[in-house]
Amino acid sequence: MSPLYEVHSEDVGSTRLYFVNASLQRVTYSSSVGVSLPCPAGGTPSAILRWYLATGDDIYDVPHIRHVHANGTLQLYPFSPSAYNSYIHDNDYFCTAENQAGKIRSPNIRIKAVFREPYTVRVADQRSMRSNVAVFKCLIPAAVQEYVSVVSWERDTVSIVPACLPTMSLKNTDTIRDTGCQ
């Protein structure tokens, strides 16, 4: 079924279905907080709102994990890492609104839980021969790469502005200390 942005029924008078926010495509949330997601559709008279997995499967309540409220809000509760289930916490969902005017389907919405965990960003050790260029790489753990970006580099706790990165020739007496990324 292709998503419609608004449906009017001329047979039933002033009945209609509409999307409140059809542009919502991705929701990333912290597992320690949870998320409440209203169905981005509505109708006059009130529409029956239902949530589904992108496969078309009905979703069901999982006590203390996932619940669909009577008003059509999908709630994913906070959970511990041991309760993680990709079928629930990292999946595509959509909702439908249905009344006398018909039925509309939202676009798929990617819902993904992330864990709050400590991580360390470091600089890879590099070697360079004298009078050559050394390229430094910021190593970001895979679990957080999608959410972390390198915004600056530092040398001896002084920021190095990307537009004017120094070019260095390494000689016997040259040393680079405390180079890091943040």
SS3 label, residue 178: coil
SS3 label, residue 88: helix
**Each residue's pLDDT expressed in tens, for the chain with a length of 182 residues:** 444 455 444 554 577 888 887 778 999 999 999 999 999 888 888 899 999 999 999 999 999 999 999 999 999 999 998 899 999 999 999 999 999 889 999 999 999 998 887 888 888 887 888 888 878 788 888 878 887 888 878 878 887 765 544 444 444 444 444 444 44
Question: In whole angstroms, what is the distance from residue 78 CA to residue 93 CA?
Answer: 18
- Rounded to two decimals, what is the model's pTM? 0.65
| Pick among 3.40.50.720, 2.60.40.420, 3.30.70.560, 2.60.40.10: CATH of 16-114 | 2.60.40.10
SS3 label, residue 78: coil
Question: CATH 2.60.40.10 residue ranges in the chain?
Answer: 16-114
Longest dimension (CA), the chain: 87
Question: In whole angstroms, what is the distance from residue 44 CA to residue 165 CA?
Answer: 60
Structure tokens at 111: 């819902």
Beta-sheet strands, E only, within 24-136: 26-30, 35-37, 41-44, 48-53, 66-68, 74-76, 90-99, 102-105, 109-114, 122-123
Residues 6+ apart with CB under 8 A from 118: none
